[in-house]
A and B are shown apart, each in its own frame.
Chain A
Amino acid sequence: MRGINTIYPTFPPQLTTSPTPIPIIGDVDQNNKIEMLDYYYFIRAAYSGMLPMGMNADVNKDGQVNDQDRDIIIKKINK
């Protein structure tokens, strides 16, 4: 029961569903912002380097990591 307030319970019970974050196109490392790190993750992927689990450098979802993905990331960084 540790961590649960049993003396003053929330009543009526509240739904605690957290909103599903909307993926940001170009956010390779999935941290909800596009920054230079995303560009360098793309570079790692483009040169056949490994990316950590959950990251995806194919930002336009066309099945390839190529210059089109790069252009999207750069445009977002330069915004």
Chain B
Amino acid sequence: MIRKKIIITTGILLIIGILTIVYGVTKGWFNKKSKASGTPTVLLRVDPIPVQIAENNTFSYTLKANPNQNLNIIGYLLTINFDNAKVQITSIEYKTGVISQDLGQDTSNKDTVNQLGKINIQAEISTAQGELLLQNTDVNLVTISGKALITGIPQLLIDNFKLYQINSDSTLTEVSGGVGEFSTSSSSSQSSSSGSVASSSSSSEQSSLSSSSSNASTSSSSSQESVKVVIKIKYRMQGVLNWIANQSALTKLKILKNGVEIDNDSISFIASLSSDYLWHGQFEQRLVPSNDYVFLVKPDKHLQRKVCSLSGRDSSTLYDCGENTITLSSNTTDLDLSGLTFFAGDITGEQGIADGKVDSLDYVMIQLIIQNNTGKDPTKVAKADLNYDGIVDTQDASLIIEVWEKGINQDEK
């Protein structure tokens, strides 16, 4: 009798087990790639991080792709735009795959590339099985070498980065890659004590400055010659509450004179974090002395603020320019923005680069890094560590929430 009960119980358990397995298979419980499979994303970065290059000196950068899951690819493409008045390309070498003839460009096309200020990179993998890119591992795609025509940080802008993935059923999928921005302006200015300087002062740019000033009807000194102005700046980033030695941040700045931007390129300089938790930097610029200047300041990974006085401060409400403007003359000018908060979170956008907004794309990027447990990866830290504590974690995600709670979500203009 007992034996019969045991047999029946075992049978029932077996049937339940089989039904559970069948149900699990239909629901994909045993699908190994379920966690890593989601939307594949591939970040592209440059190695090494560009620094200021002296006039006529050479540079060489390697573009490195880093996928968030294993990807078997048949090819890739991207576009690099650069200012051919400031940079000339000397070689383009493919490190993964071979050039797709008639579609991509390599060193043999450097004359065309330099003439247009644009490089079309396109490669294909010349094997039947494709090329496997491993999850969270850098792979060298292309090495770009060139020469700086004027002193500055080479400005190379990546666009339209795509990879072509081979799926298990032999179909192909186009994967749009995220692009880590690795560009800044070039310049002919000198280095400063607290960071490299990148401002524009070539002869042609000076003439455009003169043109701007002559158009400024309310300028008090529109007919004056431009003079060298040294601007020392300090500012505070939201959430940076620790001092870590040797932290630096690319900072972009636009100058408006009588409401008109005086140069199409941002001035870029490197600000360094001091023990007072403020970021210090300086730059030089040739400007016509006048009383109608406004600055747009944008630290890396943060939203831009509009500054119309040399010591603008937030109070219970955000600082507002009103009718104020900044008077600049020759000499050194201190721009003390320690009373302003620069809000964190502008790290990506639809094109994979900062887009002047703090939105769900920025938040999702941080959450993905946290989920993938890659918060200490140097690439991810450079891209998304908002509070500069060396790790991308929930504190960074919280900063974005904090910004949204204040009702702020885009650059001031």
Q: Do A and B bind each other?
A: yes
- Which of A29, A36, A37, A51 is most buried by chain B, counting CB atoms within 10 A of its CB? A36
CB-contacts of A29-79 with B (<8 A): 29, 36-37, 39-41, 43-44, 47-52, 74, 77-78
Provide the B67-86 mask, 1 if CB < 8 A to any CB of A, else 0: 00000001101000000000
B319 contacts A by Cβ under 8 Å: no
Residue in A37, A77, A78 whose beta carbon sits within 8 Å of that of B172 in the complex: A37
Q: Which partner residue on chain A sits nearest B102 by CB separation?
A: A74
B124 contacts A by Cβ under 8 Å: yes
- Chain B residues whose CB sits within 8 angstroms of the CB of A48 once the complex forms: 128
- Chain A residues whose CB sits within 8 angstroms of the CB of B171 once the complex forms: 52
Provide the B273-312 mask, 1 if CB < 8 A to any CB of A, else 0: 0000000000000000000000000000000000000000
Q: In the complex, A21 Cα to B102 Cα: how many Å? A: 30
Q: In the complex, A49 Cα to B125 Cα: how many Å? A: 11
Whether A47 pairs with B126 at a CB distance below 8 angstroms is yes
The number of chain A residues touching the other chain, given as a range, is: 10 to 19
Whether B170 pairs with A44 at a CB distance below 8 angstroms is yes
Q: Give chain A nearest CB distance to B98 CB in angstroms.
A: 10
CB-contacts of A8-46 with B (<8 A): 29, 36-37, 39-41, 43-44
Looking at chain B's contact residues, the main secondary structure is loop
Provide the B105-133 mask, 1 if CB < 8 A to any CB of A, else 0: 00000000000000000001111111000
Q: Which of B50-58, B161-169, B183-191 participates in binding chain A?
A: B161-169
Residue in B77, B128, B164 whose beta carbon sits within 8 Å of that of A47 in the complex: B128
Whether B170 pairs with A43 at a CB distance below 8 angstroms is no
Whether A40 pairs with B102 at a CB distance below 8 angstroms is no
Q: Give chain A nearest CB distance to B118 CB in angstroms.
A: 15
Q: Which partner residue on chain B sits nearest A71 by CB separation?
A: B102
Q: In the complex, A29 Cα to B125 Cα: how many Å? A: 19
- Chain A residues whose CB sits within 8 angstroms of the CB of B124 once the complex forms: 40, 43
Residue in B126, B128, B169, B172 whose beta carbon sits within 8 Å of that of A40 in the complex: B172
Whether B103 pairs with A39 at a CB distance below 8 angstroms is yes
Q: Which partner residue on chain B sits nearest A41 by CB separation?
A: B172
Q: In the complex, A50 Cα to B170 Cα: how many Å? A: 6
Provide the B27-49 mask, 1 if CB < 8 A to any CB of A, else 0: 00000000000000000000000
Q: Give chain A nearest CB distance to B172 CB in angstroms.
A: 5
B136 contacts A by Cβ under 8 Å: no
Identify the 7 closest CB pairs spanning chains A and B, nearest first: A49-B128, A40-B164, A50-B170, A48-B128, A43-B124, A40-B74, A52-B170
CB pairs A–B below 8 angstroms (13 shown): A36-B162, A37-B172, A40-B124, A40-B164, A40-B172, A43-B75, A43-B125, A43-B126, A44-B170, A48-B128, A49-B130, A52-B170, A78-B103
Known: A40-B172, A52-B171. 11 other contacts (CB 8 A): A29-B172, A36-B162, A36-B174, A39-B100, A43-B75, A44-B74, A47-B126, A47-B127, A51-B170, A74-B102, A77-B103
